[in-house]
Structure 1
Amino acid sequence: MLDIAADLVTWCRDGRDFAVATVVAVHGSAPRPPGAALAVDRAGTVLGSVSGGCVEGAVYELCREAIADGTPRTERFGYSDADAFAVGLTCGGAIEILITPVLAGTPARPPFAAALGAAADGTPAALARIAAGPRELLGGALLLGPDGSRSGTLGDAGTLDGPAAAEAAALLRQGRTGTVRLATATGPVTLLVESVAPPPRMLVFGAVDFATALVRAGAFLGHRVTVCDARPVFATPERFPGAHEVVVDWPHRYLERQRTDERTVICVLTHDAKFDIPLLTRALRMPAAYIGAMGSRRTHADRLRRLREAGVPEHQLARLRSPVGLDLGAVTPEETALSIAAEIVAVRRGGSGAPLTGTTVPIHHSPAVGSAHDGGSPALPARPQPRAA
């Protein structure tokens, strides 16, 4: 739902009644991820999409019904010989939808409005709703701020609010939207958490030609990109117009002052031991989604030897992706940046990096339903690396 917040926040301010259909889970090949939403107001105006066009007509009618009777509901759309063309979901997958009426004067309206306002402003927040469980719990909403503050309730006399807030906080720290299961006295419930978080950071160390292309790729993927190099003649805003920040400092000294998190990407392009070793020694101890270092296989072998001599344990060395990138046969800086960006996406989303043609690997990866503490996407297996790295 928060993906259409900029428009929905206006509906709230105007006092409109509306219903939101939100993708809770996808199975197999489905076009939109959890959190994707379609909203319909009482006049029939539509925003957003839950399937890229496949089931929008049926979902539209469910939203109109929810506005009319004020009752939340869930629906599953799947591919079968009987219903595939009836609803248009011919891609072979299935989606689960939560339809929530957001009506003026109802208890859920304030947390919804606050969540939409936070999303529109880019303020960190997480909105939790019950996506599966007793019908009487489906209409509640709980908003969690980055400081742990709460507004709204999931119902059940507030007994779910504490456990739900803990799970929502974990997803908010990772900037993730997804589902978790909660155990209750009356049985399990599934919680949908939608997170609003600042853009993830990409820290690029080494003001080299490859960095110029990687900065553009990182910004294109939605990262807030910083370039750092100890050489002032190379680390200039003019050379990196796509960077949000260009810093002249020794890389390890700059990194020591930074707070990283589970979404931070660290790319070391210096391939010079006097920069690499003190920098990676610190980076491998810090939270990060991805830590990659450029260099030949010989350079990497020497780098590992030096890091071991510096006391870096094996479990930390296992986090390092080097030579950096996927095997695309990259030669130019732009091609190499693409290979690095592709690996970052694959690690984040749990992709294999394998070609889709001639394989049976999933096109759309469905996040597993489970605890938010499961630890995010799995790592890629070791693969041949770009010749340019």
Structure 2
Amino acid sequence: MRDVLPDLLRWWRAGAPVGMATVTRTWRSAPRRPGAALLVGPDGSAAGSVSGGCMEAAVYELCREVVADATPRLVRFGVSDDDALDAGLTCGGTVELYVERVDRASFPQLDLVAAEVAAGRPVAVATCVAGPPGRRGRRIVLAGQDRHGTLGASAVDAAVDAEARALLRAGRSGVVRPRSAENLCVLVVAHPAPARMLVFGAIDFAAAVAHVGRFLGYRVTVCDARPVFATDRRFPQAHEVVVDWPHRYLAAEAAAGRVDERTVVCVLTHDARFDVPVLRHALDLPLAYVGAMGSRRTAEDRRRRLREAGVGEAALARLHAPIGLDLGGQSPEETAVSIAAEIVAVRRGGGGAPLSARSGSIHGGGRVPHP
């Protein structure tokens, strides 16, 4: 939903009804995940996707129907992999969708959701997609410690609140079925705060890494102890540039609770004075990824220094050094792509091999959701 939110908000503010189809559940090789959405605007234009192109035409027409009759629907579209190939579609699999009419009356909290997302604060939208008459279409929005709206009963609201916040903390969207209400199915679309990318070392490669990190949806910080290099002008794609010793900055951010299991750390200085202290601390934290730049000789020397500093073998095994996948790149931009590719592979559980050399589904499902 996040990618279509600007269009949805624009039409909502204009008072125009919009048809919205949202993925609730998927099976097998369906390419989009819960929370992905397709909009059909009042002018007939479309935004977003729920199937990578396979079912968009049918879903488009269904959205138009729902706008006309204002009756929400929970539907499934399914096609075998072989049939999809014969029909020239991109994939098979099964997708369950909740299709609804969105306007100011049906979604009065949309302005709040958009404001929280724009501010980078976590927010979750819980919508009843199946249940008794009068419940379907009701929703609550969880922002901060507050709950806005109701699903029709305080006990149900409390149960969904707890489950939705758990999904939000995990950064996942999905369906919940509260025990306090039989036959009630609630879709939770989670908008977690963006995951962080911490780039240590204000070198030319860092500018390219910051650029690709922002493209991937991370909130990017570039940090270096040398003020002459750590400037906003040199790193326009970073959300912030900090002048501080890397290890001191990382320790302060961790103590303040501003790094978590989704955070990725890229150490690019290849200078032991900076590398060893920050890596020693990073490898002691439950981060998603820790990588360090340098030649193989530098990497081995760095590992020796880290061992001498008390870092154990289990922690060292989490260090990706030399950083990046072997793509044969040489420029800062090509190197940044290789680093980004390794981060994606580590976070999603990919092997980094060409898809053409593999068999089976290419949408295998990763360990950790997108930032």
Bin the TM-score by the shorter chain.
Answer: 0.7 to 0.9
TM-score normalised to the size of structure 1?
0.79
Question: Of 137, 154, 161, which aligns to 1:165?
Answer: 161
- Note closer, same or farther for the CA distance 1:39–1:231 as it changes in structure 2 (3 Å cut): closer
Counterpart of 2:4 in structure 1: which amino acid?
A: I
Unaligned runs of at least 5 residues, structure 1: 368-374, 379-389
Q: Find the counterpart in structure 2 of residue 331 from structure 1.
A: 330
- In structure 2, the residue matched to 1:95 is 95
Distance 1:335 1:3, change over 3 A: closer
Deviations 1:261-291 (A, max 9, x none): 3332210112233222221222223353221
| Structure 2 alignment gaps of length 5 or more | none
Return closer, same or farther for 1:90/1:43 CA change in 2, 3 Å cut-off: same
The amino acid that maps onto 1:271 is: H
Query: What CA deviation, in whole Å up to 9, does each residue of 1:13-39 have, x standing for no partner?
Result: 233333321122333444444322123
Change (3 A) 1:325 1:296: same
1:325 positional shift: 1.2
**Post-superposition CA distance 1:42-98 (Å, at most 9, x none):** 775644332344323322332234334443221121224998599985522332211
> Structure 2 matches for 1:11-50, cutoff 5 A?
11-40=11-40, 46-50=46-50
How many Å apart are 1:345 and its aligned residue? 1.7
Query: 1:239-278 maps to which residues of 2 (within 5 A)?
Result: 239-258=234-253, 259-278=258-277
- Which of the numbers 99, 122, 138 marks the counterpart of 1:140? 138
Residue identity (%): 56
Offset of 1:151 from its aligned partner?
0.8
1:298–1:120 Cα change, 3 Å: closer
The residue number in structure 2 matching 1:179 is: 174
Task: Provide the secondary structure at the position in 1 that maps to 2:11.
Answer: helix
Structure 1 residue 144: Cα displacement: 0.7
CA distance in 2, matches of 1:233, 1:192: 50
Match of 2:188 in 1: 193
Conservation of the 8 A alpha-carbon contact between 2:52 and 2:90: no
RMSD: 3.4
Change beyond 3 A, Cα 1:289–1:88: same
SS at match of 2:357: coil
Shift of 1:103: 5.1
Q: 1:21 to 1:227 in 2, by over 3 A?
A: same
Q: 1:83 to 1:205 in 2, by over 3 A?
A: closer
Q: How does 1:338-349 map to 2 (within 5 A)?
A: 338-349=337-348
Aligned to 1:151: 148
Q: Which residue of 2 aligns with 1:7?
A: 7
Residue equivalent to 1:62 = 62
How many angstroms does 1:340 deviate by?
Answer: 0.6
Partners in 1 of 2:341 and 2:85 — Cα distance?
Answer: 35
CA 1:12/1:330 → structure 2, altered by over 3 Å: closer, same or farther?
Answer: closer
Q: Deviations over 1:220-271 (max 9, x none)?
A: 3233322222233433444434333333321111222222133322101122
Matches of 2:81 and 2:307, distance apart in 1 = 59
Q: 2-side partners of 1:104 and 1:142: how far apart?
A: 15
The one-letter amino acid paired with 1:290 is Y
Alignment of 1:289-328 (within 5 A): 289-328=288-327
Q: Which residue of 2 aligns with 1:126?
A: 124
Distance in 2, matches of 1:316 and 1:103, equals 51
SS at match of 1:16: coil
**SS of structure 1 residue aligned to 2:356:** coil
